[in-house]
Structure 1
């Protein structure tokens, strides 16, 4: 099994794509974990706004799905990770090997 770094090396712009898509995915998971901790503590406040803004544009249709606060965190996280995958696919360039 190849590491992400080895896989990125197979594409013309793979290193840049890995940095951007991986960084975005890490940011989405980090904000979701922070928001999950706020919800568990009972004080989410306006913390959800950060995850909604971070996962735009996919967050707009996902907000129409009826779910609990924890469910919204999972939905928006999944949407953000899907966007990170699309970002990787768009930015990686052509396969070189």
Structure 2
């Protein structure tokens, strides 16, 4: 666990940014896995709305793309992970030392 925090420690708010970005990434991946399981084993209903809501604002232009229905789950997941990376980059601050 210490190895994971050595990189973020080189930034002003690196550890906090890691927790926030990592928690957001975990939320997106968890929702995607849950929706994928619902698709495989049951009727998902409106469960996809949770992933769309969690990945706002990137989900707005991504859901407008004319793609087959099966492409939206991985596309929104990748979009959410990209937003988690942007959160890390924005929140971490300047490099110290």
Q: Tell me if both proteins adopt one fold, taking TM over 0.5 as the criterion.
A: yes
Partner residue of 2:12?
A: 12
Partner residue of 1:55?
A: 55
Preserved contact between residue 10 and residue 95 of structure 1 (Cα < 8 Å): yes
Question: Segments of 4+ in structure 1 off by > 3 A?
Answer: none
RMSD: 1.5
Partner residue of 2:40?
A: 40
Deviation at 1:68, TM superposition (A): 3.2
Deviation at 1:69, TM superposition (A): 3.3
- Decide whether aligned partners of structure 1 residues 66 and 4 sit closer, same or farther in structure 2, where only a CA change above 3 A counts: farther
**TM-score in terms of structure 2 length:** 0.92
Partner residue of 1:64?
A: 64
- Give the 3-state SS of the residue equivalent to 1:79 in structure 2: helix
- Decide whether aligned partners of structure 1 residues 18 and 42 sit closer, same or farther in structure 2, where only a CA change above 3 A counts: same
State the aligned residue count: 96
Partner residue of 2:26?
A: 26
**TM-score in terms of structure 1 length:** 0.92
Q: Show CA shifts across 1:20-52 (max 9, x none).
A: 000000100000000011111241101000000
Q: Which consecutive unaligned segments of at least 5 residues does structure 2 have?
A: none
Q: Distance in 1 between matches of 2:68 and 2:39?
A: 11
Deviation at 1:10, TM superposition (A): 0.7
Instruction: Kindly indicate which of the two structures has a greater share of residues assigned to helix.
Output: 2
Deviates more, 1:36-45 or 1:77-86: 36-45
